[in-house]
Chain A
Amino acid sequence: MNGILNRETLVKWAPLIVLFILILFFTVLEPRFFSVRNLARIAISSAPALMVAIGVTFIIIMGSIDLSMEGTVSVSAVVFAFAFLALGGTILSWAWLALPLAVLVGAAIGFLNGLVHVKLKVPSFMASLAMGFVGTGFALLLTGGDRIRVEDEVFRGLLTERWLGFPVMVYVALAFLLIGWFIQSRTALGRNFYAVGGGEELAHASGLNVNRLRIMGFMLAGVFYAVGALLAVGRIGIAETATGNNFMFMSITSVVVGGTALWGGVGGVWNTLVGVLIVNVIGNGMVVIGLPGYVQDGVLGLLVIIAVVLSTDRKSVSFVK
C-alpha cells in the first residue's frame, strides 16, 4: 500500500530474491558453481523433483495435502520398467507404450487417493500418506527388492543427449512446467482449484462439484508424479522401490519455500519452480563449497520455517493446530 516495499510485495518476491542471493553467495565462494556444467547438474537433479512438486502444488492450492508421492513415483517407475522391458526394451519398438502406461498408473493411484479422501472422508494427509505406503509396499512386491535396469540408449538420451549444455530431460521438465502453467491459468479446472482453496464454502455455494474436483486434482497430481518417475528413471537408468525416496520432503519443502501457502488459494507453478531451484541450489552449493550433507538438511529445515513465518499473517490467525 505504501511504496514498493510493503509486506505483500516483499512476500511475493522473497523466494526469487532468496534464490538470487544463494546463487550469488555460492558463486562468490566458489566461482565454478556458476559454470554451465554445474548449472546443468542442478537442472538435472531439479527436473524430476520439479514434476513431483508441481503435482503437489495443485493439491496445496486446493487447501489439501498429498503425501503419496514417494509410493506413486516408485510404482510408476517400476511398472514402467517392467512394461518397457517386456515390450521390447527400446523406445523404437512397442515399448514406447510403457510411457503412457506409467502416466496412467500415476493417474489411477491419484484417483484412488481422491476417492478414499472424498468418499470415505479421510483427511487428505492421512489418506495420501497411507496410499503412499501402500504404493511403496506394492513396488517392493513387484520387484522383490531387485533393481531393474533400463538401458535403452534412446530413452537414456533424456540424460545423455544435450542441447546447449543441458540434457533433454531438462527441456521435458520445462515443457511440463508450461503445461502445468496452462492448466493453472487457462483452464476451468485450474481456476476451480483456486476457488476451492480460497473459499470452499463459496465454491460449493456457487454450484461447483467440490468432491469431483478434489478427485480430479489428485489424479492430475498423480500424472505429474508419474512424469517425475520417468525422469528419475531416465536420470539413473534404474527403476526400484527406492526411486521414490526423498521426494516427499523435497517436494513439500520446495512448494512451501516457493511461497505457495499451505492453507490454499495462493501460489502456483512458478513459485514451485523457484522453490525447487532454491532447494537444489542449496544442496548442490553445499557440496561444491565442501560442507557435509547433514548441514544441508538443517538449512532446508530452517528455510521451511522461515518461509511459513514470512507467508503467514499472524495478526489474522489466532490459533494454529
Chain B
Amino acid sequence: MYQLNKVDKKFPGVHALKAVDFTIGRGEIVGLVGENGAGKSTLMKVIYGAYQPDGGTVTIDGKTVRFQNPRQAMDHGIGMVFQEQSLITNLTVMENIFLGFEKQFVRFGVVDWKAMAEAARKQLAKVKLDIDPGMITAKLSFAQRQLVELAKVLTLEERVEGDLVILLDEPTSVLAREEVELLFKLVRELTSRASFIFVSHRMDEVLELSDRIYVMKDGEVVDVVDQAAANIDSIQHKMVGRDVDKEYYREQRQGAYDPDRVLVSFDGVTVPGRYEDISFDLHPGEVLCLVGTEGSGREAILRTIFGLEKPAEGSVRIKGQEITRFNARQSVELGVGYVPRERKVEGIVGGMNVYENMTLSQMGNYSSAGVLRIAEEKALAQKWIDRLAIKTPSVFKDCGGLSGGNQQKVVLAKWRSGGSDIILLDHPTRGLDIGAKEDVYDMVREMCDAGAGIILVADTLEEAIGLSHTIHVVKDGKTQKVFHGSPGNKPSLFDLVHYMT
C-alpha cells in the first residue's frame, strides 16, 4: 500500500539514494539494513517527510503524494519512533503523547486535563503500559519511554483515515534483552493496526522480527530477502560486497610499527554505560582503528585517552605514566592531540584566523610573560601551510571560511606543530571530498613515519581496513575481535561486519 518508485536523492557531492524501489504492505514488518552511510537514514527521512526526493514518486494506495514536512506525512498515517528519543523529559507522559495536538482537548481556551489523561490512558493501553499519564516523563525507564513514543505514534490511528506505517529507528539500542522480546511481541500484535519499518544494526534482531528485509549499499537497494530465505552471512556479504582499493588508502606506504615502545596502554579499562574491560597498546608508527557501530563505545574510548571521560576501573598509561587525574590539559601536555568529528564545534574556532587556530594549544611556546610573539606564530603557520599545501589566501584568513579539507589540515597542523605524537582521529574524513580525503590519508602515513601513534575511528570500514595496522572491533562496549593486518594481508569487510552486528 505504501510505495516508493525509483526515488532519487542527491546532496552536494553525494548521491544518497539511487532509484530506490520500496514497498510495504498492510500489516507487514519490513527490515532495513546497511552499513553506516549506505543511505538508510536518508531513505527513512524521505519516508517520513523530512526530505523531499529529487526524483521518483511516493504513492499510498496508488495515489501519488508529496510531503513537504513530517507533519504532512503524519496526516497520511506515517509516524516515526526516533532512535534518539524525542520525548520532552520535563513534561508529563500525556503532554508528550499529544504534543502539538492538544487542540482536541481545549474548551474555551482551557485544556481539559481529565479528558487528555483519559485519552492518553487509551493510547498507553495499546502498548500495554500501565502508568499514570500525569507522570513526569523523566521518571520513566528507557524501555518505558520507548513504549510511550510508540503510543504517541499510534495516536495517528484515531486521527488519520487509512493505514499506518510506523518507522522504528534502532528501537532496541538502549533496551535489555527481555525488554527487546517484549517490544517485538508488542510490535507483532500491533501489525493488526499498522505496518512497521524496522531499522537496526543488530542483524539477528532484524531477521527475527521482519517479514522481508531490504539490504542497502551505496544508496541502492541491493537485495530484498524474505524471512524464510534470509541468512546472516549472505546479507552481510551483500551489505559490503566490494574490495578495498589499496592505492587509495596509501597502503604501499604502510610501514611496520615499533613494537617495543608503547605510547598509550589500556588495561581492563571500564567506563560504566560506555564500554567495558578494554585493553590495548598503541605503539609509535601504528594506526589502531576502533571499529563498531554508532554508540558501540568507540568515541568514549577516545574521550578517555583525551582526559574527558574518567574510567571507573582499569589502568590507563600514557608514555608509561599512569593517569589518575583525567583532564584535557594534562593529556595535551603528554602529547595527545584530538581531531574531533564536529570540526565546526570542536576542531577550529571560526572567527579566529589560521595562525591563531594553529597555536591555540601551544600558546606557551609562542609567548613570553604572556605577550605573544606573533611574528613567530605567522612563520609557523606559513611553514605548515606550505608543508600541507593548505589552500588559504594568507595566514590572516578566518578559518571558518576555509573548505572542510583545509580546516582539517589546520587542525592536524595545530597538533603536529606542537609536537603531539598521539593523535586521536574521530571521523577525520567525514564530509570531505575525495581529494581532501587522500590528503588526510597521506598525512596519516607521514605522521606514522615520524613516529606518531594514531587511534582512528574511521568514517567507513574500507577506510578502517585500508589505513590501520590493528583493528579492534567493538560491539556494545566490548572488544569482540582484534585483527592485525599488513599490506596485502588485511581482514576483509565481511570479517569486520560479522563481529560488528
Contacts and interface: CB of A to CB of B under 8 A. Distances in A.
Nearest to B414: A206
A309 interface: no
A199 B350 contact: yes
5 smallest CB-CB distances across A and B, nearest first, come from A207-B332, A206-B361, A198-B349, A188-B363, A199-B349
A232 to B, nearest CB: 29
A199 B351 CA distance: 10
A218 B361 CA distance: 22
B371 interface: yes
Interface string A104-133: 000000000000000000000000000000
A191 B372 contact: yes
Interface string B472-493: 0000000000000000000000
Interface in A255-276: 265-266
Given A186-B371, A187-B371, A201 B346 contact: yes
Contact of B328 (A188, A189, A192, A205): A205
Contacts of B374: 186
Nearest to B330: A207
Nearest to A266: B351
A55 B52 CA distance: 50
Contact of A205 (B306, B370, B372): B306
Interface string B344-388: 011111111000100011011011001110100000000000000
B331 to A, nearest CB: 7
Given A201-B346, A204-B328, A207-B361, A188 B352 contact: no
A38 interface: no
B351 A265 contact: yes
Nearest to A196: B349
B351 A205 contact: no
A186 B356 CA distance: 11
A204 B328 CA distance: 7
Interface in A67-98: none
A266 B349 CA distance: 11
B333 interface: yes
Chain B: interface secondary structure?
helix
B367 A198 contact: no
Contacts of B350: 198-199, 265
B15 interface: no
Interface in B303-352: 306, 308, 328-329, 331-333, 338, 340, 345-352
A207 B360 CA distance: 9
B351 A202 contact: no
Contact of B352 (A195, A204, A207): A195
Contact of A187 (B308, B329, B346, B367): B367
A203 interface: yes
A246 B306 CA distance: 46
Interface in A167-204: 186-189, 191-192, 194-195, 198-199, 201-204
Contact of B332 (A187, A202, A206): A206
